[in-house]
């Protein structure tokens, strides 16, 4: 068996923002996930979509991260 590619062994960093959560439906959440390495942000509207984004599956469209005022985007 061949070793995994180096990129598969490196940790990934995310910033998860949850904007809405319904108390009666634990899977009913909405927010965004910022993928730090690429500077992209993806939105989600369910727990399943959040899991897809974090698991690397195709999810909602990515948008470039907007720099914060006075900040620098990597």
Per-residue model confidence (pLDDT) at position 52: 93
Residue 44 β-bridge partners? 31
DSSP string, 3-23: PPPHHHHS---EEEEEEEEET
Give the model confidence (pLDDT) of 41-60 as tens digits.
Answer: 999 998 889 999 988 654 44
In this model, does residue 69 exceed pLDDT 90? no
* pTM assigned to the model: 0.57
Spell out the domain ranges in the chain.
10-58
Cα 52 → chain centroid: 9
Per-residue model confidence (pLDDT) at position 8: 59
**What average pLDDT does this structure show over 20-35?**
81
């Amino acid at each position: 068996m061949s070793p995994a590619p180096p990129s598969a062994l490196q940790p990934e960093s995310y910033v998860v923002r949850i904007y809405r959560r319904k108390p009666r439906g634990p899977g009913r959440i909405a927010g965004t996930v910022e993928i730090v390495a690429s500077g992209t942000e993806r939105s989600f509207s369910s727990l399943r979509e959040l899991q897809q984004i974090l698991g690397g599956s195709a999810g909602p469209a990515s948008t470039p991260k907007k720099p914060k005022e006075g900040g620098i985007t990597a």
